[in-house]
Structure 1
Amino acid sequence: MTLEPDPVTLEPDPVTLESDLVTRHPLTLTADPGRVIAKLFLPGEEGNEPHSRAAGIVARVLALGDDEVDVLVAALLDRFGPRHRDYRGILTRHAAIVAPRVRTPTELSPVRTLLLGACFTAEYAVEGAAVTNPSAVAHPDQSGLHAGALRLALSLRAVGEGHLSSIGFAVAVIGPGSAVRLEPRTGPLTTGVAVPVTWEHDRLRALLTDDGLDDEVTRSVLDALDRSLAGGDLEQAFASMPADLLRRPQAAGILAGIRSVAGTLRRVEFPADSGLAQRVLWPTVASESKGMEDARFVRFTAPDGTVDYRATYTAYDGIDIRPRLITSPDLRTFTTSPLTGPAARNKGMALFPRLVGGRHLALCRSDGETTGLTASADGLVWEPFRPVHQSTAAFELIQVGNCGSPIETSAGWLVLTHGVGPMRTYTVGAILLDLADPSTVVAALPEPLLTPITTESEGYVPNVVYSCGGLVHDGRLWLPHGIGDSRVGMASVPVDALLARMIPRA
């Protein structure tokens, strides 16, 4: 095994010391407008125009001469091919979407198919506006590192045109000591390939009930799925329904609702030769059509010792927000699904890294302003939340929530919080929860751990420092954090010093 070069130790800039606790490291990750994907583009439909313009575009592509098509496609491949993984495949798939508008018996040549696909494809800069709100977990690949170093997988909220958010990634190496560096974010991006995934029937049943679909039509579909020997196919279940139920006036709407709920389970797989920083989790379901925001990743250890990666994120459709779940065994295959139950509301759920008392636990902010605790038997359906930490200090007068999953220490669960105070200033604080009973706050930091300093007061959203999760390595808490909702910085603090500064709660 070849070790990487010795990492450069970055000494803290005296000007950027938060206090005698916090070190701000001279590492900044900024938005890169060159990080683009090739997404489907449907002129007219993209702007909510009343009529699609696709038919006219198809007709004009068909009217071009072969020589002109050859020249156009050669130029497209030369310009855009190096910027995208499998550019030809992307264009071919997009052409297939509008192919029904091509009148038979016309048969498109491979070259004309590529041109047709290019007319319905557009580049999108996933970080065209900002990159912010990171979380950190240990990377699944720790090979090639010197003793004392740890490779991090950083999740990022990437914000592009129209304030549309997706989930991107970066890779950093921390240690030994206070050394920290980013690995290069090079190569074309990929949004992966959707792969089949099947609902567990009980889970689908619970989701349909949560969505208000608990009627005879729904029950007939679910019963048909239960009777299937091969796990069940939704369309086959629809086809086997009694005709009397299908004639009911509301049946069509109910079946559409079932399809909509069933479609909220998605799985995407990325090429094995793609780097983590090249992978983008792109919105795929209606509830996240306007963005996937603020993923809080955690490395979860099951009772049998199995480890996987999980995250909650906020799905936004332009009107409503709701939490969704990501699970991944290796950060290459990702499954996303909805969360349900009374506590699965609002923003900012954060999962505990293991079961506590035999149950899944999560922090939440269901009422919009209070840090709460919720429990679940399966990690999917969440019980009503219990308030844990309310806004009391001056720096959290408006609201308080979490900055990622709780971190287990010998003294308790260390929870980084975000407080919103006067002038909507976001700061990072800390509380300590009892290990056995995390509904009990045993200590709290009396002042913010991290506050926007002068150089951080400006940005896409001014006066904000915010994190979606840090981790402890070699006795030091490492905290990647968004600055002004526009860029990402890195801070660290010795854990023992932080715990010693916290004031016990009576």
Structure 2
Amino acid sequence: MTLESDLVTRHPLTLAADPGRVIAKLFLPGEEGSEVHSRAAGIVARVLALTDDEVAGLVAALLARFEPRHRDYQGTLTRHAAIMAPRVRAPTELSPSRTLLLGACFTAEYAVEGAAVTNPSAVAHPDQSGLPAGALRLVLSLRAVGEGHLSSIGFAVGVIGPGPTVRLEPRTGPLTTGLAVPVAWERGRLRALLADHGLDDEVTRSVLDALDALDGSLVGGDLEQAFARMPADLLRRPQAAGILAGIRSVAGTLRRVEFPADSALAQRVLWPTVASESKGMEDARFVRFTAPDGAVDYRATYTAYDGTDVLPRLLTSPDLRMFTTSPLTGQAARNKGMALFPRLVGGRHLALCRSDGETTGLTVSEDGLVWEPFRPVHEPRAIFELIQVGNCGSPIETSAGWLVLTHGVGPMRTYTVGAILLDLEDPSIVVAALPEPLLTPTGTEAEGYIPNVVYSCGGLIHDGRLWLPYGIGDSRVGMASVPVDALLARMRP
């Protein structure tokens, strides 16, 4: 018998896309067709031409229909109206109702899971209260895919145990994309990132020197002050405008999002906020990270996609309510699929990566931000991974070694989940590997948005079992489990 048939349990749980999970986002008519000419002025003029009674009737209908579907709906419309305020000719002063109507004309609902929900990772929930003995509350991060194949990061909450049981908690209530709050760069980090982007010229150095002359070690509003202090001779250089735009772009890649304290985790959506992820935030691999002093936080790498290029980025959070997203640099941070180790190994940060697109490698970092060139660890060898291999999430520590769930791509672009075991002290050494897939797409699992795919971004061990949430056909999510001891016993040197 195969491992899958005699050890793996597929649980009767399916998490499917819910098109009713919507956010209210800024909508600029014509942008979906890449129109160059703005249509905003005409829309504003038509809103201003309506009578007060017409406005009142329209707004009443909007609030009755949409307010129950969104958190702070009126606040969202007001913010979107403020963005369009320069189109309103002075001294026109808009009434509250007309402001809401103007905002509604530049707002659209977006179903974050309109197309699919897939590629989950699992971590222990920060709140374990109210559970029976032997149970664990877990967080599933989800890749939500909507119109235009735009991906965002959502969440679900489940409970595993006691024993081999699992259930999902309801995902109800209006969604929220949180509130962006100011965050400042540490000067040395910004300097290194600019150099990584090829910005190491005289204009950039002048800006950095001006920053160094300012008080404090953090870069926030100081950037514009530094621009103002630049010598005029440098500003007259033909390249100066492009370089300054590049500095602004790099400086804008650090973001922090805070969600309302009264929002449930399943209501929170991490939505693209920087140019490098304008076409999606994909495949977050979450891990619960323990620092040498015992402090714990949540970290994740995810793939930022701008429609052309992919880059790994880092999420950090103390509580899954406040998130900071920042760029990663170094030669290993150049492709999809980075996965962080849950603690330091040998005093350094470690991560798995796939810098060459087909081989699982190991990379190290002194600070968890700048990553050294990778060393190959696991190359395509088995028949179910002839095309490429990669990780399925962060390594999981066991007494026998680091258990790494892998994905292999074989003939007919069939994705399967496998496993390897790395040495605890030197994870560049593969001490054992599973000779056959742990999961293959069987039966209806072979059907989906992308056929013949099972894929995970991370599992966890609880009560002697490996719990593995996995995407099916890039369209829905299932859950499997396997006894850890039995799995390790089936691995071969």
TM-score bracket relative to the smaller structure? over 0.9
Matched with 2:28 is: 42
Higher mean displacement: 18-27 or 399-408: 18-27
What is the 5 A alignment of 1:80-479? 80-230=66-216, 231-232=218-219, 233-479=222-468
Q: How far apart, CA to CA, are the structure 2 residues paired with 1:29 and 1:45?
A: 32
Give the C-alpha shift of residue 45 in structure 1. Answer: 2.4
1:397–1:422 Cα contact (<8 Å) kept: yes
1:45–1:51 Cα contact (<8 Å) kept: no
Q: How many residues are treated as equivalent by the alignment?
A: 489
Question: Once the two structures are superposed, what CA deviation does each residue of 1:178-221 show, in whole Å capped at 9, x if it has no partner?
Answer: 11100010000000000010001111111100101001111111
Higher mean displacement: 190-199 or 44-53: 44-53
What is the 5 A alignment of 1:48-67? 48-67=34-53
SS in 2 for 1:46: helix
Q: How far apart, CA to CA, are the structure 2 residues paired with 1:236 and 1:110?
A: 37
SS in 2 for 1:57: helix
Q: How far apart, CA to CA, are the structure 2 residues paired with 1:46 and 1:324?
A: 26
Q: How far apart, CA to CA, are the structure 1 residues paired with 2:212 and 2:466?
A: 48
1:17–1:24 Cα contact (<8 Å) kept: no
Matched with 1:485 is: 474
Question: Once the two structures are superposed, what CA deviation does each residue of 1:9-39 show, in whole Å capped at 9, x if it has no partner?
Answer: xxxxxxx993211000000000000000000
2:3–2:436 Cα contact (<8 Å) kept: no
Q: How far apart, CA to CA, are the structure 1 residues paired with 2:485 and 2:239?
A: 62
Task: Return the letter of the residue paired with 1:491.
Answer: A
Task: Return the letter of the residue paired with 1:124.
Answer: Y
Q: How far apart, CA to CA, are the structure 2 residues paired with 1:348 and 1:17?
A: 26
1:308–1:329 Cα contact (<8 Å) kept: yes
Give the C-alpha shift of residue 462 in structure 1. Answer: 0.4
Gaps of 5+ in 2: none
Q: How far apart, CA to CA, are the structure 1 residues paired with 2:100 and 2:142?
A: 33
Q: How far apart, CA to CA, are the structure 1 residues paired with 2:334 and 2:410?
A: 23
Q: Is 2:17 the counterpart of 1:31?
A: yes
Task: Return the letter of the residue paired with 2:468.
Answer: L
SS in 1 for 2:416: strand
The TM-score, its normalising length taken from structure 1, stands at: 0.96
Give the C-alpha shift of residue 307 in structure 1. Answer: 0.5
Task: Return the letter of the residue paired with 1:311.
Answer: A
Q: How far apart, CA to CA, are the structure 2 residues paired with 1:319 and 1:310?
A: 26
1:149–1:175 Cα contact (<8 Å) kept: yes
1:404–1:469 Cα contact (<8 Å) kept: yes
Moved over 6 A (4+): none
2:449–2:475 Cα contact (<8 Å) kept: yes
Give the C-alpha shift of residue 227 in structure 1. Answer: 2.1
The TM-score, its normalising length taken from structure 2, stands at: 0.98
Give the C-alpha shift of residue 63 in structure 1. Answer: 0.4
Question: Once the two structures are superposed, what CA deviation does each residue of 1:56-94 show, in whole Å capped at 9, x if it has no partner?
Answer: 000000000000000000100010000000000000000
Q: Is 2:57 the counterpart of 1:68?
A: no
Task: Return the letter of the residue paired with 1:394.
Answer: I
Q: How far apart, CA to CA, are the structure 2 residues paired with 1:478 and 1:256?
A: 46
Matched with 2:490 is: 501
1:17–1:23 Cα contact (<8 Å) kept: no
Question: Once the two structures are superposed, what CA deviation does each residue of 1:124-177 show, in whole Å capped at 9, x if it has no partner?
Answer: 000000000000000011111111100001000000001000000000000110
Percentage of identical aligned residues: 89
SS in 2 for 1:52: coil
Question: Once the two structures are superposed, what CA deviation does each residue of 1:99-148 show, in whole Å capped at 9, x if it has no partner?
Answer: 10100000011110000000000000000000000000000111111111
Question: Once the two structures are superposed, what CA deviation does each residue of 1:384-436 show, in whole Å capped at 9, x if it has no partner?
Answer: 01100000000000000000000000000000000000110000000000000
SS in 2 for 1:212: coil
SS in 2 for 1:235: helix
Higher mean displacement: 235-244 or 411-420: 235-244
Higher mean displacement: 248-257 or 22-31: 248-257
2:118–2:475 Cα contact (<8 Å) kept: yes
Q: How far apart, CA to CA, are the structure 1 residues paired with 2:78 and 2:293?
A: 45
Q: How far apart, CA to CA, are the structure 1 residues paired with 2:386 and 2:198?
A: 36
Residues 491 and 187 of structure 1: is their aligned pair in 2 closer, same or farther, counting only changes over 3 Å? same
2:386–2:411 Cα contact (<8 Å) kept: yes
Q: How far apart, CA to CA, are the structure 1 residues paired with 2:405 and 2:213?
A: 48
Higher mean displacement: 219-228 or 250-259: 219-228
Task: Return the letter of the residue paired with 2:376.
Answer: P
Task: Return the letter of the residue paired with 1:405.
Answer: S
Q: How far apart, CA to CA, are the structure 2 residues paired with 1:476 and 1:399?
A: 28
Q: How far apart, CA to CA, are the structure 1 residues paired with 2:97 and 2:232?
A: 48
Q: How far apart, CA to CA, are the structure 2 residues paired with 1:212 and 1:460?
A: 39
Q: How far apart, CA to CA, are the structure 1 residues paired with 2:47 and 2:393?
A: 50
Q: How far apart, CA to CA, are the structure 2 residues paired with 1:47 and 1:304?
A: 52
SS in 1 for 2:226: helix
Q: How far apart, CA to CA, are the structure 2 residues paired with 1:295 and 1:241?
A: 40
Matched with 1:12 is: none
2:3–2:438 Cα contact (<8 Å) kept: no
Q: How far apart, CA to CA, are the structure 2 residues paired with 1:424 and 1:251?
A: 47
Tell me the C-alpha RMSD between the 2 structures. 1.0
2:16–2:476 Cα contact (<8 Å) kept: yes
SS in 1 for 2:436: coil
Q: How far apart, CA to CA, are the structure 1 residues paired with 2:457 and 2:251?
A: 29
1:18–1:24 Cα contact (<8 Å) kept: no
Q: How far apart, CA to CA, are the structure 2 residues paired with 1:109 and 1:222?
A: 46
